[in-house]
Every structure is written in C-alpha cells, then in structure tokens.
Amino acid sequence: MGPAALQVPSPAADRQRVVISVDAMGGDRGPAVVVAGVAAVVAANPDVHILLHGDKSVLAPLLDKKPELSAFVTLRHAERVVTMEDKPSHVMRHGMGTSMWSCIDGVRSGEASAAVSCGNTGALMAVSMLRLRRLHGVARPAIACLWPSRNPGGFNVMLDVGADVKADPEDLLQYATMGASYARNGLGLARPRVGLLNVGTEEHKGRAELKVAHDLIASATGPGGFDFVGFVEGGDIPSDRVDVIVTDGFTGNVALKTGEGTAKLVGEFLKQAFNATFLSRIAALLALNSLKRLQARIDPRRVNGGVFLGLNGTVVKSHGSADATGVEAAIHLATRLARAGFIERLAARVASAQGAGQDTPGQGEGAGAQP
Amino acid sequence: MGPAALQVPSPAADRQRVVISVDAMGGDRGPAVVVAGVAAVVAANPDVHILLHGDKSVLAPLLDKKPELSAFVTLRHAERVVTMEDKPSHVMRHGMGTSMWSCIDGVRSGEASAAVSCGNTGALMAVSMLRLRRLHGVARPAIACLWPSRNPGGFNVMLDVGADVKADPEDLLQYATMGASYARNGLGLARPRVGLLNVGTEEHKGRAELKVAHDLIASATGPGGFDFVGFVEGGDIPSDRVDVIVTDGFTGNVALKTGEGTAKLVGEFLKQAFNATFLSRIAALLALNSLKRLQARIDPRRVNGGVFLGLNGTVVKSHGSADATGVEAAIHLATRLARAGFIERLAARVASAQGAGQDTPGQGEGAGAQP
C-alpha cells in the first residue's frame, strides 16, 4: 500500500507483466473450458502469466494439447476439489489441498495480483476471508456485479449481491466507497454516482436503518470520491441516473436473480413469438443479426465476474456455468483491476471514508492521488 | 362471515348483482380513463353496478356523454382528491371528503363488495386500514400482485410487494395463507404451491427469521390449503414450480420494480435492435403480429391490480398510470373476488391457520368448505 501503488498507471505500467491465479476446477463445465479461457487471454495479452491450480493428472494433458501456453502458464498441483454442494464452514476447516484454497494462496503469498475461480461462491468467500483477511476497518466484505444499463459504458455496478444477508448502515457506507472505487478502476468512471436501493425515492420512505445509511453516505462523498444521488428504486438499477447501486446482500441477491430470471422469461416469450407463424419465422431469419446483437447486450457471459470487495486481495468469482468466453472475461477483469492497483486504491478510500464517517475530516492524500 | 358465505358460489350466484366502489380521481391520467374503464366493464357485465366517487362538476359531464351508463353507475360526490405527493399520515388525519376516503367507505358501509382506486398506494393502504380495519389476528396487511409466469394460467402471485417494509415469521405465515387464498379465488387454483423467497434453496441459507418462517409455513399447509415447496430464489418468481411467492414488503417491492425495469430495458434493446438496419426494419414489419403477441404477454395493464390482503374488505389498487384497459382489468378482478366471497373465505383461512400456528390443530370446518 506504498505511495507508488497510488500513482495513476502509465502506458508503460499497462504493459507490465501481471500474474493471475486461476482455479481450474470446481466449475460446472470442468477444467477444459478454463484452459480454453486462459488460452484466449494469453493470446490477446502476452504480458499476463497464469498460475493454474488443479489436479495435475487432469490439467497436464489439457495443457499438452496447447504447447503455445507453456510459456504463459505455471501448473500448481492441488489434488482435491471444492464441490458446489460443500458447505462454506466445512471448506474453511478442511479446504487445504483444494484447488480453490491453492488459488487464493497464490494471492496471499504475493505471487499473483488477483485470483479467479468458477467454484462455489460461499466457499470461495469463506476461503478468501480466511486466507486474505478483511481490509482494515471492513466488517462485511461484499460481492459486486455488473448490470446491463442505459449508461454509455453499458453497465452499472451493484453490491452486495450475496456475500452477507445483512448490512448495517456502516456497512452500506463501505459498500458505497468500495463500489465507487470499483467503478473508477473497473469501468473507468472518474466520479461515479452512487444510489442507495430503497422502496421509494422520498426521504421518509423505507427502513429506518436506510435513513441512517443515507445520511452517512451523503456525508462521505468527498473522501469517497463519488456523487450521491440518494435513494433509488428497483427500476433504477439499469438506469442512467446512477452508476453504483448499494444494498444489503439479501436484497441484492434477490434483485440480481429476479433481473436474470425476467430477462430469461422475456427471451423465451420472444422465441415463442417468432416461432408462432410462418411469417414470423421468416422475420426471425431476416432479423437474425439484430437479434444476435440484442442477445450480446444482455449476454450474462459479457458481465461475467462478481468481484469480492473488502479483502486484502482481488478475487473474481466467475459464474459456475461459465464457458470459455465467460472465463476469459473474468480473467480480463482480474487483469484490469490488478494493473490499476485496485486493492491499494480501495484500501486508501476505505480508510479515508472511515475517517469522515467518524467526523474526522479525511486526510485527502490517498483520495487526491486517485482518479 | 356467516356459514352461507363459505359456500362455493353456484352458477346462479355468478350472475347476482355485484356493487363495486370506484375512486374516479387520483390516477395519473385523470377521471376520463376511469369512466371509460367503467363503461367497458358494464358493457361486458350488466350485473355489475358501480359507485363512482369524485367531483360531481368533473364527473357529471363525462357521464352525460355516455347515457347508456346511467343505469349502472351511481355518482357519489367528493370534493377533494388525494394526490400522489400526499403523505399517508396526512391523509389518515385529513382525508375525509376525498374521493379515496369516500370510495373505501362504500365498502365499509356494506353498500359495495369491493373498492378500486388508481390513487397513491401508501395513502390508499392507510385509509383502508383506518376505515376497514385489519382482519382479526392479522398484524400486517399485504399487497399481492400478479407476475407473468410459465404456469398454464400465465401468472404467479407475489406478496408483500410494498404494504410494509418489515415482516416477522408470523406475518410471513399469514402472507402464505392469504396469498394461497387469493390464488384459489382469483386464479382458480385448487391447491396453490407456496414458496418462501430466499437467497438459496438449501435450508441452511438466508436470514435466521426465514428459517423460523419456513418451519411455521411448513406446519400450516393443512389448514392453509396449500402445498409448500420451501425456499425459492429470485429466478423462480416466474417459474412453474411455484404459484405463490411470499416475502417481506421491502424485498417484494424491490423485486417487482427490478422485474418491471428489466422487462422494459430488454424491450428497449429489442426496439433498438429492430431499428438498426434496413433488413431488421423489414423483419419488424413481418413480425409485427408476433411482437404484439409478445407485448400482450408482458403488458403490465393485463396484470393491473395489486390486491390488499388482511383487511375487512377487498381493495384493489390499480396502477397510477393505468389507462381504460388497466382500470377495466382492475374492476374485473374486484368483481371476480367479490363474487367468490373472497373476504369471508380469507378470514376463515387466517383464523384456521392461526390455530395451527399456535399448535392447536385447525378445526378444519372453514377449511373443508373451501375449494
């Protein structure tokens, strides 16, 4: 967390070698899609080096088929795998020797700048908290996701989408600070606009703790480096009046899955509508390219990568059912955040906003040095 | 709540005269669309009589233009209007003399079997609670909405979508009972399947109070007359493995608005995709009927009408921006519920389920008499 890390990356820094720790096991589609994703990343980005964790007897044959990867990938043998059914508490006690644990330890040891896994979300958060520890002053880490939106960049940030089912007003303040830092470093927004999710935009609406959080966040915009638009509603999540939506992990998880479920339902209805008549089937053929463009805009693979915020290290959770394109997107995201010195910037923001939250004006040093 | 009201309605009962109390004011589009909606209802349903509440100087000229309505509509003058900006607490103290108050009093006095209003939701709930009072044993009334789904009927029920920002396990049990009763009487499902919204379907997931609610609901399926499928996630809200989704009013409101917002976003993206090229515009013309069918399936006007559950009277909240078709749908829903003797059935179920919740086996009398 030295001052050097706080500098804006120069073009030279963009080209510096970055090491990413990747868990090859534990995804629904097996290690072959992870290796394919890794191959796509290093083909586009020869400055990225991958520590690949998993069973040697499974991974070595896959790597042997792609000899061009040998200069970019270091295999780290881990015999065991965390399954989707394993309970987080069990993995915390008995997870040593799994590819997930080994992957996180790649960041813990300082060898890698970020970790990527398609495995069990709860277990990944538990292992990450245990091995990387929380950032100083962070009570509850959060998972941030990207949400298709009307903003020019095409995405908004929402957090927490499932790290913890509860959040106190102080946690929501930290989510605002961390989410804004993520939007700056991950989406390139100079001064993100933060909104607090509620059931109405009027200040008298909603739960009492949200009013407390509202005032805490409103007083931390300086050191946090964001603008606060106040309360937003569910319909505002994809809107262009906000960049970062802050909520507790219960509400965020329900909203995320409701949004995904609705998009899927409308997609099914659309398909049925185009299959209804001969004329509509012709129309679908004519509109094929347009429909593909639509699909690309709401393709969950493009937004693949929930980022764990509030730990001493960057961890990207790829979707369990991610294919090679999804894995590639998650590793690209991890690389971008590593190159931006995201963790150091995030730590400085959290420390600064906390000073403000305690009615001590933020020092502004770390803050001033950041975009 | 006499035993007669618990009988299954006969075909003769279906044709009996029903009086519905309708607030003509307070919607975003003014009283003309309400009168148009009323006209459509009575044209299709000559056994429905409407008590129409609002400013005589505005409504009389609208009614004069449709002389065919005179036999079906009784005008009730109310000088004042509740606006969308009025705070519920203010309306509770000073709302007498408004069309909303007068509309609810039409049910309170027994003249009408159900009330319909497009006005301010919070104020409507406050006036309804004040004038109709809660059902015996109900701590928190709820608002139930219909959600487009993959089920044969095309809709699922979700509650609470915004009556109260909090819900205890006992409230969630009542929501299950009331939602199931609504699904039986409003959607015609003999034995609705109830799910409890959570962040995972495993029993160890989610908030502690949800585990308590899970066990309460599981033990009340007999007197409640429903099946319990356990925890469901946001993606399951439109699914065909559940008919009634139970949650607190904060989560439900966020989910509802997130779903509406997502459907709107996908619709916009679709429109842009079809406008992208010359070929895609031709395709859109060819697919016009199919696209209209799609629009109809996700048209919020078709699902218009949040129903207030847990009061001594049926109140249907029509969307503030409802047009004549939306108002018509809301009045039809109110009529259907009134004809089914919904309030009496609901009260019997709540009483019966409560007995079960207190570890006294339900008497089963009210329960046995219901569909």
The residue ranges of every structural domain in chain B are 1-138+310-326, 140-309
3-class SS of residue A308: strand
Mean pLDDT of chain A: 87
- Global pTM reads 0.86
Q: State the average pLDDT over residues A80-91.
A: 92
Which range among A11-20, A67-76, A79-88 shows the weakest confidence by mean pLDDT? A11-20
Which range among A48-62, A278-292, A327-341, B57-71 shows the weakest confidence by mean pLDDT? A278-292
Read off the tokens for B300.
């919020």
Q: Are the beta carbons of A260 and B291 separated by less than 8 Å?
A: no
pLDDT band for B213, please (50, 70, 90 cuts): very high
ipTM of this complex prediction, to 2 decimal places: 0.84
pLDDT band for B143, please (50, 70, 90 cuts): very high
Q: Are the beta carbons of B257 and A233 separated by less than 8 Å?
A: yes
Which H helix or E strand runs over B145? strand B142-148
Given this model, what pLDDT does residue B371 score? Answer: 38
Distance, CA of A151 to CA of A229 (rounded, Å): 15
Per DSSP, what are the bridge partners of residue B197?
B232
Distance, CA of A120 to CA of A190 (rounded, Å): 33
Phi, psi (5° rounding) for residue B164? -145, 145
Contacts of B236 in chain A (CB under 8 A): 261
Per DSSP, what are the bridge partners of residue A307?
A144, A316
Contacts of A286 in chain B (CB under 8 A): 279-280, 282-283, 286
- What is the nearest CA distance from A264 to chain B, expressed in angstroms? 9
Give the residue on B whose Cα is nearest the Cα of A161. Answer: B199
Give the residue on B whose Cα is nearest the Cα of A87. Answer: B204
Give the residue on B whose Cα is nearest the Cα of A279. Answer: B286
Contacts of A269 in chain B (CB under 8 A): 294, 297-298
B167 — alpha (psi -120 to 50), left (phi > 0) or beta?
beta
- What is the nearest CA distance from A269 to chain B, expressed in angstroms? 6
Q: Are the beta carbons of A280 and B269 separated by less than 8 Å?
A: no
Q: Are the beta carbons of B291 and A273 separated by less than 8 Å?
A: yes
Disruptive mutation site among A145, A166, A199 for chain B (greatest number of B CBs within 10 Å): A199
Q: Are the beta carbons of A255 and B250 separated by less than 8 Å?
A: no
The answer, yes or no, to whether residue B353 has pLDDT greater than 50, is yes
Given this model, what pLDDT does residue A359 score? Answer: 41
Contacts of B199 in chain A (CB under 8 A): 162, 165, 249-250, 253-254
DSSP state of B97: T
Q: Are the beta carbons of A284 and B283 separated by less than 8 Å?
A: yes
The answer, yes or no, to whether residue A12 has pLDDT greater than 50, is no
Given this model, what pLDDT does residue A158 score? Answer: 96
Instruction: Report whether CATH 3.40.718.10 matches the domain B140-309.
Output: yes
Q: Are the beta carbons of A270 and B270 separated by less than 8 Å?
A: yes
Contacts of B164 in chain A (CB under 8 A): none
Which range among A342-346, A356-360, B128-132 shows the weakest confidence by mean pLDDT? A356-360
Q: Are the beta carbons of A251 and B254 separated by less than 8 Å?
A: yes
pLDDT band for B114, please (50, 70, 90 cuts): very high
Q: Are the beta carbons of A287 and B274 separated by less than 8 Å?
A: yes
Given this model, what pLDDT does residue B205 score? Answer: 79
Mean pLDDT of chain B: 87
The answer, yes or no, to whether residue A186 has pLDDT greater than 80, is yes
Q: Are the beta carbons of A87 and B204 separated by less than 8 Å?
A: yes
B245 — alpha (psi -120 to 50), left (phi > 0) or beta?
beta
Phi, psi (5° rounding) for residue A271? -60, -45
The answer, yes or no, to whether residue B66 has pLDDT greater than 80, is yes
The answer, yes or no, to whether residue B139 has pLDDT greater than 70, is yes
CATH for B1-138+310-326 is 3.40.718.10
The answer, yes or no, to whether residue A163 has pLDDT greater than 50, is yes
Disruptive mutation site among B156, B237, B257 for chain A (greatest number of A CBs within 10 Å): B257
Given this model, what pLDDT does residue A59 score? Answer: 96
Give the residue on A whose Cα is nearest the Cα of B256. Answer: A234
Q: Are the beta carbons of B199 and A249 separated by less than 8 Å?
A: yes
pLDDT band for B6, please (50, 70, 90 cuts): very low
As a whole number of Å, the end-to-end CA separation of chain A is 16
Compute the count of residue pairs across chains A and B with CB atoms less than 8 Å apart. Answer: 187
Distance, CA of B152 to CA of A350 (rounded, Å): 51
Q: State the average pLDDT over residues B86-109.
A: 95
Phi, psi (5° rounding) for residue A115? -120, 150
| Higher pLDDT among residues B257 and A368, named by residue | B257
Given this model, what pLDDT does residue A356 score? Answer: 58
Given this model, what pLDDT does residue A160 score? Answer: 95
What is the DSSP secondary-structure string of A109-167?
TTS-SEEEE-S-HHHHHHHHHHHH-BPTT-SS-EEEEEEE-SSTTSEEEEE-SSS-S--
Given this model, what pLDDT does residue B302 score? Answer: 59
Give the residue on B whose Cα is nearest the Cα of A202. Answer: B85
pLDDT band for A302, please (50, 70, 90 cuts): low
What percentage of chain A reaches a pLDDT higher than 70?
A: 88
The answer, yes or no, to whether residue B62 has pLDDT greater than 70, is yes
Give the residue on A whose Cα is nearest the Cα of B253. Answer: A199
Contacts of B149 in chain A (CB under 8 A): 265
pLDDT band for B154, please (50, 70, 90 cuts): confident
Q: Are the beta carbons of B280 and A260 separated by less than 8 Å?
A: no
Q: Which of A148, A261, A279 sits opposite B265 (nearest CB)?
A: A148
Contacts of A203 in chain B (CB under 8 A): none
Give the residue on A whose Cα is nearest the Cα of B198. Answer: A254
Distance, CA of A312 to CA of B290 (rounded, Å): 52
Instruction: Find the DSSP H helices in chain A.
Output: 11-14, 31-44, 56-64, 88-94, 99-108, 121-132, 169-187, 208-218, 221-224, 249-274, 278-286, 288-297, 324-339, 342-357, 365-369
Give the residue on A whose Cα is nearest the Cα of B150. Answer: A265
Q: State the average pLDDT over residues A143-156.
A: 91
Read off the tokens for A140.
């509850």
Instruction: Report whether CATH 3.40.718.10 matches the domain A1-138+310-328.
Output: yes
Given this model, what pLDDT does residue A231 score? Answer: 96
Disruptive mutation site among A196, A272, A290 for chain B (greatest number of B CBs within 10 Å): A290
Nearest partner of A103 among A132, A62, A145, judged by Cα: A132
pLDDT band for B356, please (50, 70, 90 cuts): low
Give the residue on B whose Cα is nearest the Cα of A277. Answer: B290
